[in-house]
Structure 1
Amino acid sequence: MLRTRLCDVLGVELPVIGAPYGPYEQVELAAAVCGAGALGSLGTAVRPLADLRRQWARMRELTDRPFAVNHTLRPLNEEAFRATLEERPAAISFHLGVPGDLVARAHDAGIRWIQQVMDVRQAEQAVRAGADVIVAQGGEAGGQGGEVATMVLVPQVVDIAGDIPVVAAGGIADGRGLAAALALGAQGVALGTRLLASVEMNIAEEWKHRIVAAEARDTIKLAHSDRFMPPFSRPDAYGFPRSLRTPFLEEAEEHPERVRPDEAAPRIVEAMLGGRGHEFLPFTGQSAALVHDILPAAEIVRGIVEEAETVLRRAADACTRGAPR
C-alpha cells in the first residue's frame, strides 16, 4: 500500500485524512476511516460540550487508532478546546485562521497540530506556529474555504512548508486526485465531499443522493454567508462556504438584505443539530461531479489509494516508454 511521511507523523497506514463535518454526527464515519488505516476526524462546531464528550467516548469504543478533533474560529469554543486538550486525541485540526497560541497549548499537551490553510500567507503563519501537518485547501472544496485553486495552492504551500508534510484538499474524490497531489509534492489528501456520500455518514439520504447527481457547477460559493453563519472569533479569520443550492441560499445570495442574522443563524443551527441542515446549507465541493455512488467509507478510502498506485505506475511506465533510447 502507498505510504508517505505523513503516515509516520500521524501514526496511520494510508496518506488520507477524513475531513471533519462541523456539527454533524460523524462518529461512525470517522471510526470507519480509522479502521481503513487513514485518519478519521470529528468536528465540534456549535455542539454542546456534553454531546462532544459523548461522541469522543463512542469513538474510543469503536477504535483504538489515531483520530483528530477539529476546531475553527467560526467561532472558537474555548470550553470545548480545553476539553479536547484533556481528551488528548492524536491530533487537533484547525481551520479559518492560524492561532499560534492554541498550537502551543496543543503541543504542551502532546497533541499534533494539523493546520488547514487557504492561501500563502496562512501557510507562512502555519510554519511559524509550528504546525505538524499543513492542509492546503483549494477553493473547489465544500464547506468553508478560500478562493485559490488546489492545483495552484498546493505547490506554493509545499515550497513554503519545508519538512512539514502537506496534504491537498479540495476537488479530490478518486485515486487520480491523490496521484496528482503527490505529483505536486503533497504527502497525502483530505477527503470531504467524497466521504459525505458514504454509508456511515449520518446525514440525510437526500443530501447524499444530491451529491451523487450533482455537477461541479451545481455547487456555489456564498459571498454573503456573514448574514447567516456564526461570527469569527478573531479579526484575521475568514472563509466563504461552498454548498449545493437551496431556496434559502439563492434568496440570501440574490437579496442578502432580506436575511436577518438574528433569525437566520439560530434557525440554521437548530436545523443542523436536528438533522435538517441540508434544507438550508448542504456543504458540498465541486468534486461532487466525480462522485457516482454511495459506498462504505473503508471501500472509498482503500479504493482511492489503490487507484492512485495504479495511476502512478501507469504514468511511470508511460514516461519510460516515451524516453529516448
Structure 2
Amino acid sequence: MHTGICDLLGIEVPIVLAPFGPWEQVELAAAVCEAGGLGSVGTAVLPTAQLTAQWKQLKSLTDRPFAINHTGRPFNEEAFAASLDVRPAAISFHLGVPADLIKRAHDHGIPWLQLVGDVTAAEAALEAGADVLVAQGTEAGGNAGSITTMVLVPAVVDIAGEVPVLAAGGIADGRGLAAALALGAQGAWIGTRFLATVEMAASQRWKDQIVASGALDARKVLNSEVAMPPYTLPQVGAPMSPRALPSEFIDRLARDPDSIDESDRTRLLQLVRSGRGDELLPLSGQSVELIHDIVPARVLVERIVAEADEILARLGSV
C-alpha cells in the first residue's frame, strides 16, 4: 500500500501515529516508524530539556522519519525552536494555524501537517502554506470539533487541491483506512487504537479501560477549558474539545465547573507531566468500540494494512 503521502514523508505505508500531547510515546513512535509508518511525539506542557532528551532517545531507536507535534494550548517557543534544530521529517500542529511558524519550518526544509476540524480552518491552513491537512472528525479522542470524519474528510479533500489529506477520528482498523482512502484521503492519522499497544507508555488501567469500553463511553469533556491550559495562539474555525472515558474528575467538570480551582489545575498538570494524566483525563476516541486487544505496534500496523489491502482488492473486483 503506497500513496503520495508516503513519498512526501518518506514512509512505506500511509499510517501516521497521532501525537499524545505530553504522554510519553517514544518507544511507540519508534515501533511505528520501524513498521513503515510515521511515528510522532507530542510536546504540550513539557519542559524543553525533557523533550530534547525524548527526541535523542527516539533517534537512537530508529533512523526512520518521525514527526514532532506542537500545539497552541499553550505554544512553547523554546520547544519549537529546538525541534527545528532536530529537523524531523515533519512538524504537525493543532489548535491554531500559525503562518509564521509554518514559514520557519519551511525555511528549515520541514513539511507541515496541520490538523483541522472544519472547512474554515482547512482554508486558513491552505492559505498559510500547510503541506498536509489532517481532517479530524469529532469521533477523535484529541481536541476535535463537531463534524464527523465521514463528512469532514471529503469536504476538506474537495478544497485541498494538490495538498494531500489525512483522515483522523474513529479509525482503528483496516476498514477505517480503506474508508479514508475511499473518501479521498491519502492515509490515516490514528490515535486511540495505538494507546492500546504494548509499547505505549500508559498505565495498564487506561489500556484495559479502552479495551473494555464502548463508543458511548467516550464522551466530550464538558467545560474542559476550565481545567486545561489556555490557548496562547488565535483559534480558527469552530471550537474544539477533547473526548475521554469516564472519571470522577470529568463528572465534576460537567456537574460543577465552578468548583475547579487553581489547585485542581495544578494537580492535573502534575499528573500529566508525570505520565499519570489518565487518572483524571483518560482521553480516548469513539474507536474504543473497535478495540479488543493490546498488541505490539508492528503487529497493529501490519494488521491494518493487510485488512485494508484485502478490502480494496475485494472492492476492486466487484
TM range (shorter): over 0.9
**Distance in 1 between residues matched to 2:275 and 2:60, nearest whole Å:** 23
**Distance in 2 between residues matched to 1:240 and 1:223, nearest whole Å:** 8
- Aligned alpha-carbon RMSD (Å): 0.9
Residue 280 of structure 1 corresponds to 280
**Distance in 2 between residues matched to 1:303 and 1:6, nearest whole Å:** 20
**Distance in 1 between residues matched to 2:142 and 2:245, nearest whole Å:** 10
Residue 166 of structure 1 corresponds to 165
1:239, distance to aligned residue in structure 2 (A): 2.2
Contact 1:96 1:145 in 2 (8 A): no
Structure 1 residues 295-314: aligned runs within 5 Å: 295-314=295-314
Distance change >3 Å, CA 97–CA 235, structure 1 → 2: closer
Contact 2:250 2:280 in 1 (8 A): yes
Size of the alignment, in residue pairs?
Answer: 316
**Distance in 1 between residues matched to 2:221 and 2:277, nearest whole Å:** 16
Residue 54 of structure 2 corresponds to 55
Structure 1 residues 114-263: aligned runs within 5 Å: 114-236=113-235, 238-260=239-261, 262-263=262-263
Q: TM-score, with normalisation over the residues of structure 2? A: 0.98
1:236, distance to aligned residue in structure 2 (A): 2.1
Deviations 1:49-76 (A, max 9, x none): 1100100100110011110000000000
**Distance in 2 between residues matched to 1:301 and 1:265, nearest whole Å:** 36
Residue 268 of structure 1 corresponds to 268
**Distance in 2 between residues matched to 1:28 and 1:191, nearest whole Å:** 16
What secondary structure, in the 3-state scheme, does the structure 1 residue paired with 2:252 have? helix
Residue 36 of structure 2 corresponds to 37
Residue 99 of structure 2 corresponds to 100
Amino acid at match of 1:228: A
Residue 293 of structure 1 corresponds to 293
1:308, distance to aligned residue in structure 2 (A): 0.2
Residue 322 of structure 1 corresponds to none
1:225, distance to aligned residue in structure 2 (A): 0.7
1:313, distance to aligned residue in structure 2 (A): 1.3
What secondary structure, in the 3-state scheme, does the structure 2 residue paired with 1:68 have? strand
**Distance in 2 between residues matched to 1:21 and 1:229, nearest whole Å:** 15
Contact 2:96 2:234 in 1 (8 A): no
1:223, distance to aligned residue in structure 2 (A): 2.7
- Give 5+ residue unaligned stretches, structure 1: 320-325
Contact 2:222 2:250 in 1 (8 A): no
Deviations 1:62-111 (A, max 9, x none): 01111000000000001100111111111100011211111001000111
Amino acid at match of 2:287: S
**Distance in 2 between residues matched to 1:223 and 1:165, nearest whole Å:** 33
**Distance in 2 between residues matched to 1:169 and 1:99, nearest whole Å:** 21
1:45, distance to aligned residue in structure 2 (A): 0.6
1:278, distance to aligned residue in structure 2 (A): 1.2
What secondary structure, in the 3-state scheme, does the structure 2 residue paired with 1:114 have? strand
1:234, distance to aligned residue in structure 2 (A): 2.1
Residue 64 of structure 1 corresponds to 63
Contact 1:5 1:165 in 2 (8 A): yes
**Distance in 1 between residues matched to 2:205 and 2:142, nearest whole Å:** 18
**Distance in 2 between residues matched to 1:232 and 1:264, nearest whole Å:** 18
Deviations 1:228-249 (A, max 9, x none): 0000012325420100110110
**Distance in 2 between residues matched to 1:34 and 1:307, nearest whole Å:** 19
What secondary structure, in the 3-state scheme, does the structure 2 residue paired with 1:71 have? strand
What secondary structure, in the 3-state scheme, does the structure 1 residue paired with 2:143 have? strand
Amino acid at match of 2:99: G
**Distance in 1 between residues matched to 2:285 and 2:18, nearest whole Å:** 12
Amino acid at match of 1:20: P
1:272, distance to aligned residue in structure 2 (A): 1.3
**Distance in 2 between residues matched to 1:63 and 1:17, nearest whole Å:** 16
Amino acid at match of 1:36: A
**Distance in 2 between residues matched to 1:148 and 1:73, nearest whole Å:** 21
